[in-house]
Amino acid sequence: MNPIRPIGRAFLGFLEATGRLVLFALVGVSHCVRPPIYPRLILRQMIDIGYYSLPVVGLTTLFAGMVLALQSYTGFARFSAEGAIPSVVVLSITRELSPVLAGLMIAGRIGAAMAAELGTMRVTEQIDALETLSTNPYKYLVAPRLIAGVSMMPLLVLVGDVMGVFGGYVVSVYKLGFNAQTYIVNTWNFVEAMDIVSGLVKAAVFGFLVALMGCYHGYMSRGGAQGVGAATTNAVVSASILILIFNYLITEMFFAQ
């Protein structure tokens, strides 16, 4: 047997899967901007993604900020550069940690739930039932989740930014002995609008990716409970990997000299 054949087959399979995903995304996005829109469903998804994820994202970024301040201190103290801690914390949190950590947490919490819900609907013929009831499943199931993902993630990341900086402040002031006012002034003076904007752009992209992968894997799932389980795993893994890849690409776009 020709050894090139399996490689070629795998490559064609990859292209086919990519094409299917892109097509799914395009159809999903096109239904976001074409009526009818389902405000009730969008609102429900917004509450699920935005409101119920607040504790997870808030806690994650709070402790990330605290650890960051602590670790920075142990490093910077060697060079007597402790004064840089507020700037390191605020830059790391707004540009990277808040959007990436929030993205990964939402991938686990929301991406998995979307894949499981749509996967179960697929294998129990509920998606077929939607079509027979003259309701487009992309419009009814996919579009509200994409809209909610893109709109809610930036808000979550904004909260994450505040919580992360607050975590750094708490450790710096109450454990490392920083002056509270100086810490806040340094933070405020150092952060730029672009730092926050880049984080929010990342958040919107990550929100889209999480919702897309959750919907795609759920919608395409086959084969009963095992298929739904596989769809859930694939949704979380693929969303997490895509978040890390797109994080680099967006960072490159905003900050590469």
Partner 1 sequence: MSAEPEKPRDDRPPKIRMRGVEKRFGPKEVLTGVDLDVRPQESVVVIGGSGSGKSVLLKCILGLLTPEAGEIEIDGKPVTHVTGREREAVNAKIGMLFQNAALFDSLPVWENVAFGLIQGQRMKRAAAKEIAIQKLADVGLGPDVGELSPAELSGGMRKRVGLARAIAGDPDIIFFDEPTTGLDPIMGHIIDDLIVHCVRQVGATAVSITHDMPSARRISDRMAMLYKGKIIWTGETAKIDESGNDYVDQFIHGAAEGPIRMELRKL
Q: Which residues bind partner 1 (CB under 8 A)?
A: 36, 120-121, 124-126, 128-129, 131-136, 140
Q: What is the nearest approach in angstroms of partner 1 to the Cβ of residue 55?
A: 23
Pairwise CA distance, residues 211 & 214, whole Å: 5
Q: What is the 3-state secondary structure (H, E, C) of 54-123?
A: HHHHHHHHHHHHHHHHHHHHHHHHHHCCHHHHHHHHHHHHHHHHHHHHHHHHHHHHHHHHHHHHHHHHHH
| Local structure of residue 48 (DSSP, 8 states) | I
Residue with token string 């960051």? 68
Tokens of 208: 């889209």
What's at 101, amino acid-wise? L
CB of 135 to partner 1, least distance (A): 5
Comparing CB distances to partner 1, the nearer of 71 and 124 is 124
Q: Which two tokens stand for residue 238?
A: 């693929």
Nearer to partner 1, 121 or 163 (CB): 121
Distance of closest approach, residue 36 Cβ to partner 1, in angstroms: 8
Closest contact distance (angstroms) between CB of 226 and partner 1 is 18
What minimum distance in Å lies between the beta carbon of 131 and partner 1?
6
Q: Where are the alpha helices (DSSP H) in 175-223?
A: 180-190, 193-219
Per the structure block, which two tokens stand in for 114? 């979307």
Q: Nearest 10 degrees: CA dihedral of 102, 60, 235, 24?
A: -10
Q: Please state whether the peptide bond connecting residue 137 to the residue before it is cis, i.e. omega within 30 degrees of 0.
A: no
CA distances to 9, 115, 227, 228 from 224, rounded to whole Å, are 27, 13, 5, 6
What's the rounded Cα separation, in Å, for the pair 180 and 159?
21
Residue holding tokens 């607050």? 166
**Min. distance of Cβ 125 from partner 1 in angstroms?**
4
Query: Whole-number minimum distance, CB 219 to partner 1, in Å?
Result: 14
Q: Which is nearer to partner 1, 97 or 118 (CB)?
A: 118
